[in-house]
């Protein structure tokens, strides 16, 4: 299948832009902007991750890799129904779509397909966000156009790019803060930080084949944003000794996802790791920042594992969409993450004490599998 590339900065221009942008990379707090993201009164915050919907033209778009007897009635509408089932079953506080939201080659009108793909989240009135994959821009909208359309949809907290980062690669680099419970000592602090990045589509460097990667300009934005959030969390009131945990969402896996085998991950690895052919160093950047506890991606639909490397959990969601390649008999799936606050001695709520995850399968019972604690303050 032909691959379409999106223009990128040339290297000389790019590195000049990095220097120029140093003073402008400041995080944007979203507490109090649009829909406020806060922990529930029960001390939890739940995130539903949907990866690789590969939405096309709705009912007219057939399914891939299902049993022959399913084909006559299977379409994009099955993907929509699965999103709706997951929202009802989990009642998440936030929904994250991690790229390949539409399959551009089979989407006649990108705007219509995007609106249809995200309709269950829009209708739920639950705040949601999205990043781009490598197929979103292959229809009638450019990569920038796709992100601008997403940002214009109802209930989304997505951003095209940080207003403060005057020059940055890609579209859809932003962060969101999850505030502590109202009335608690963490009411005005972000107890959990979410980072979203555009991992690109395909390499535009002739000597480098394959998929795109997270560029230095994006890493610089991440570093400065993380540092700003850490400083805010560790100063009065309620100064903390360490940073609030951070979770990172993008589409294409890092090369480090290939570090695991069946002895040191939870879930399955049924295909190769389709990362960029170069390592841009973003994993090291996250380790150095010190706040990231887990990374969540899509792209490789038949992988759904979580494995820990140097203190960071690297997690696939598993393929969600029915117009995406899969495996007949291996259910489409979604990942759920729950962060839980600790109880204080005074009976209130403190910092995040643990982060758990599991997946649900699109079977008769929405079976939950592979529940695990991916981070605990006690063992940090």
Q: Is 299 left (phi over 0), alpha (psi -120 to 50) or beta?
A: left
Look up residue 360 and give its two tokens. 């649900």
Mean pLDDT for the chain? Answer: 91
Over the stretch 219-262, which tens digit does the pLDDT of each residue have? 999 999 999 999 999 998 889 999 999 999 999 999 999 999 88
CA 158 to chain centre: 11
Over the stretch 319-378, which tens digit does the pLDDT of each residue have? 999 999 999 999 999 999 999 999 988 888 999 999 999 999 999 999 999 999 999 998
| pLDDT above 70: residue 8 | no
Calculate the alpha carbon distances from 376 to 189, 286, 312 in Å.
20, 18, 12
Look up residue 6 and give its two tokens. 């999106």
| pLDDT above 50: residue 5 | no
| pLDDT above 70: residue 140 | yes
122 touches 76 (CB < 8 A): no
Quickly state the pLDDT bin for 22 (edges 50, 70, 90).
very low
Burial 54-77 (b: 16+ CB within 10 A, else e): bbbbbeebebbbbeeeeeeebbbb
Give the pLDDT of residue 166.
Answer: 86
Closest C-alpha to 142, from 172, 182, 117, 175: 172
| pLDDT above 80: residue 212 | yes
Strand ordering across the sheet containing 174-179: 174-179, 190-196, 246-249, 292-297, 312-316, 306-309
Helix (H, G, I), strand (E, B) or coil at 70: helix
Give the pLDDT of residue 14.
Answer: 39
Strands 292-297 and 312-316: parallel
Over the stretch 59-96, which tens digit does the pLDDT of each residue have? 999 999 999 999 999 999 999 999 999 999 999 999 99
The single-letter DSSP state of residue 262 is T
Give the pLDDT of residue 303.
Answer: 98
| pLDDT above 60: residue 6 | no
Give the pLDDT of residue 201.
Answer: 97
Give the pLDDT of residue 345.
Answer: 83
Q: How far apart are CA 131 and CA 333, in angstroms?
A: 18
Helix (H, G, I), strand (E, B) or coil at 216: helix
Give the pLDDT of residue 349.
Answer: 93
Give the pLDDT of residue 34.
Answer: 52
Quickly state the pLDDT bin for 7 (edges 50, 70, 90).
very low
């Amino acid at each position: 299948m032909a691959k379409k590339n999106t223009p990128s900065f040339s290297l000389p221009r790019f590195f000049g832009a990095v220097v120029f942008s140093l003073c402008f990379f400041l995080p944007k707090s979203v507490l109090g902007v649009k829909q406020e993201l806060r922990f529930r009164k029960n001390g939890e915050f739940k995130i539903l991750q949907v990866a690789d919907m590969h939405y096309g033209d709705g009912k007219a778009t057939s399914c891939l890799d299902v049993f022959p007897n399913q084909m006559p009635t299977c379409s994009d509408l099955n993907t929509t129904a699965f999103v709706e089932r997951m929202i009802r079953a989990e009642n998440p506080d936030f929904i994250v779509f991690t790229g390949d939201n539409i399959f551009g080659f089979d989407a006649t009108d990108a705007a219509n397909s995007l609106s249809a793909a995200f309709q269950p989240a829009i209708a739920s009135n639950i705040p949601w966000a999205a990043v781009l994959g490598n197929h979103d821009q292959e229809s009638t909208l450019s990569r920038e156009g796709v992100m601008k359309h997403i940002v214009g949809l109802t209930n989304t907290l997505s951003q095209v790019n940080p207003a403060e980062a005057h020059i940055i690669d890609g579209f859809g680099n932003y962060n969101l803060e999850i505030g502590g419970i109202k009335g608690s000592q963490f009411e005005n602090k972000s107890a959990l930080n979410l980072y979203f990045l555009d991992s690109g589509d395909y390499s535009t460097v002739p000597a480098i084949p394959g998929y795109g990667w997270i560029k230095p300009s994006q890493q610089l934005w991440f570093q400065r944003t993380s540092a700003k959030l850490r400083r805010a969390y560790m100063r009065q009131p309620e100064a903390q000794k360490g940073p609030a945990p951070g979770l990172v969402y993008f589409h294409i896996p890092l090369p480090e996802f290939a570090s695991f085998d069946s002895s040191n991950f939870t879930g399955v690895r049924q295909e190769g790791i389709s990362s960029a052919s170069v390592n841009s160093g973003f994993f090291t950047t996250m380790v150095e920042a010190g706040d990231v506890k887990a990374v969540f991606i899509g792209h490789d639909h038949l992988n759904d594992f979580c494995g820990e490397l140097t203190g960071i959990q690297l997690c696939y969601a598993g393929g969600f969409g029915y117009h995406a390649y899969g495996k007949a008999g291996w259910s489409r799936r979604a990942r759920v993450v729950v962060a839980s606050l600790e109880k204080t001695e005074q009976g209130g709520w403190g910092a995040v004490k643990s982060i758990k995850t599991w997946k649900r399968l699109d079977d008769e019972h929405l079976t939950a599998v592979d529940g695990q604690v991916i981070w605990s303050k006690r063992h940090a």
